[in-house]
């Protein structure tokens, strides 16, 4: 049986170790500790892979938007390509377990509406008004909502270092937005509209982390979940695509597309490149690995590991789109990341 501390830290024991090795031998505390650390290490590695894949979405999406695509149009194509890419793996996974689609229908619907459609549409509208690096940092303020919800709803009160880290992140946010106005209005590409869209994405992202955790686990790792990550992701993509298409049909979300070439790293390339990148890398692979990581690590630790997306997103945007943050925003970003590290150390 896992310890209470292991569950709080989001560590999942390796299959078979918690119950004992073959032959009925019992495991001691040291074995459980090693198993827990191994499970956490795998979860962190998978989470970093997910963060890297998610980090490409801003660059690919911004390239399409600059070429004349609407944010909602880019998201719709993204989720449709992802759903198609995952269809065969889902069919193979569900063989003999088709009832999962019925029992998990409402869960996949909620995941698609909030974790996929709302989160992506808000984020893509944010990068339509601001640089990718700034938008992603604002979106990841959602991790504070995760900590706050776990405290209020489940009594997981943050320890002193977590509080210090949260305050550091808020201070970094102020620098990122240049609230003093020292650099002039609109410095670094910050707009009120973009900030509001990014904060909307932050709320949706916080919900996404809880939706990705094992069912009925309260956001913790270690819960039993019969719904494979690839099935949850596919169901979310299908639901999200339907929702965005309906919004477009009702003229509530403009759906614009263009066959014109896009600009990446100063070169004109086919729009098919960012389309495939968005659908396969930044959606299909990113979401499946993201769900798998959160199930191993829990909502809180999983959200902090996913914060690495900020670095990947800013790096890809810097290299491929030449979006360079201001000095003040560099300092703000460093302070936000320092705050996240402090929280991670407190959880360790």
- Comparing C-alpha atoms, which of 206, 212, 214, 113 is closest to residue 151? 206
C-alpha–C-alpha distance, residues 265 and 199, integer Å:
28
The full length of the chain comes to 348
The per-residue pLDDT for range 83-127, each reduced to its tens digit, is 999 999 999 999 888 998 999 999 999 999 999 999 999 999 999
Would you state the pLDDT for residue 54?
93
* Phi, psi of 268, deg, nearest 5: -85, 125
- Comparing C-alpha atoms, which of 225, 111, 228, 213 is closest to residue 154? 213
The per-residue pLDDT for range 39-59, each reduced to its tens digit, is 677 888 999 999 999 999 999
In the predicted structure, residue 206 carries a pLDDT above the cut 70:
yes
**Mean pLDDT of the residues in the chain:** 81
Residues ≥6 apart with Cβ < 8 Å to 160: 346
C-alpha–C-alpha distance, residues 327 and 225, integer Å:
45
The per-residue pLDDT for range 125-146, each reduced to its tens digit, is 999 998 887 888 788 888 888 8
The per-residue pLDDT for range 238-287, each reduced to its tens digit, is 999 999 999 999 999 999 999 999 999 888 999 999 999 999 999 999 99
The per-residue pLDDT for range 16-28, each reduced to its tens digit, is 434 444 444 455 5
Instruction: Give yes or no for a contact between 220 and 213, defined as CB atoms under 8 angstroms apart.
Output: yes
C-alpha–C-alpha distance, residues 202 and 8, integer Å:
23
């Amino acid at each position: 049986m896992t310890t209470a501390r292991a569950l709080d830290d989001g560590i999942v024991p390796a299959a078979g170790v918690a119950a004992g090795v073959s032959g009925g031998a019992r495991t001691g505390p040291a074995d459980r500790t090693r198993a827990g650390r191994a499970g956490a290490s795998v979860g962190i590695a998978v989470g970093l892979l997910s963060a890297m894949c998610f980090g490409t979405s801003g660059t690919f999406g911004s390239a399409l938007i600059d070429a004349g695509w609407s944010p909602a149009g880019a998201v719709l194509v993204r989720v449709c390509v992802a759903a198609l890419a995952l269809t065969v793996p889902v069919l193979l996974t569900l063989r003999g377990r088709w009832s999962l689609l019925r029992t998990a229908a409402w869960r996949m619907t909620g995941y698609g509406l909030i974790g996929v459609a709302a989160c992506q549409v808000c984020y893509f509208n944010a990068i339509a008004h601001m640089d990718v690096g700034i938008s992603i940092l604002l979106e990841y303020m959602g991790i504070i909502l995760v900590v706050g919800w776990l405290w209020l709803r489940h009594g997981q009160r943050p320890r002193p270092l977590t509080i210090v880290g949260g305050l550091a992140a808020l201070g970094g946010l102020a620098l990122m937005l240049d609230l003093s106005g020292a650099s002039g209005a609109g410095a670094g590409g910050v707009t009120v509209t973009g900030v509001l869209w990014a904060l909307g994405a932050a709320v949706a992202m916080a919900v996404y982390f809880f939706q990705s955790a094992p069912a009925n686990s309260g956001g913790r790792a270690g819960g039993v979940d019969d719904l494979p990550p690839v099935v949850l992701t596919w169901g979310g993509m299908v639901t999200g695509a339907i929702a965005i298409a309906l919004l477009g049909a009702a003229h509530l979300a403009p759906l614009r597309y263009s066959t014109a070439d896009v600009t990446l790293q100063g070169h004109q390339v086919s729009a098919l490149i960012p389309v495939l990148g968005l659908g396969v890398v930044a959606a299909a692979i990113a979401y499946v690995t993201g769900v798998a990581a959160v199930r191993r690590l829990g909502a809180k630790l999983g959200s902090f590991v996913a914060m690495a997306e900020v670095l990947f997103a800013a790096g890809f945007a810097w290299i491929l789109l030449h979006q360079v943050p201001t000095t003040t925003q560099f300092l703000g970003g460093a302070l936000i990341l320092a705050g996240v590290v402090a929280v991670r150390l407190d959880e360790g």
